[in-house]
Amino acid sequence: MVAGLLGLSIGLGGHPAGERFSAPALGAWTALLGAAAAALAVGVHGRRRAVALGLAGGLLYEAADLALKAVAGSTGVADAAVSPWTWVALPATAGAFFCFQRGLQGDRPLAVIALMTAATNAGSIAGALLVFGDPLGRTGGLAALHAAALGLVVVAACRLASAGARMAKVQA
């Protein structure tokens, strides 16, 4: 995990956050995330409800992250306060918080945490690439390094999640 995260940090820099993005694409992306989160939060019942709420929370945190990335490109505090993306981020963050907290009250909190984290991170990376046009790397070599580093992070996260699940079974 550490090697992957260090690899991702090599060669950072470039355009300021939020400067290059398509407002309609970001609006569509965040609307899609909100609709998917609502479907999970309202539509899933029974034993899978807690993990569905964790996933819904992750999708909403992802929407908030991307909206705040757009706000970060504002020219000042006054612009950020009136940015429509601030008003997307606020309810998305509140909804994510409540979904996640309610999901944690179920019988599988580690699964809820893993799904929330995975949805937030994977979706934010995809959104940065697709909506904001962030490059994986400024050069072909950096792109390859970052892709490999991202792969290491994903493998490490999967191993940590399965180890956590095994520990939870032993404790139960």
Please give the Cα distance from 101 to 105 (Å, whole number): 7
Q: What's the chain's average pLDDT? A: 83
pLDDT at 18 over 90: no
| 86-118: pLDDT as tens digits | 999 999 999 999 999 999 999 888 888 888 988
pLDDT at 65 over 80: yes
- The model's pTM is 0.77
pLDDT at 74 over 70: no
Most confident listed range (98-102, 119-123, 131-135): 98-102
The residue behind tokens 């550490």 is 2
- Residue range 122-138: average pLDDT? 81
**Residue 153 half-sphere exposure toward CB, CA atoms < 13 A:** 18
Give the confidence band of 125 by pLDDT, cuts at 50, 70, 90: confident
Please give the Cα distance from 160 to 127 (Å, whole number): 24
In whole angstroms, how far apart are CA 122 and each of 47, 129, 140, 166?
25, 11, 22, 23
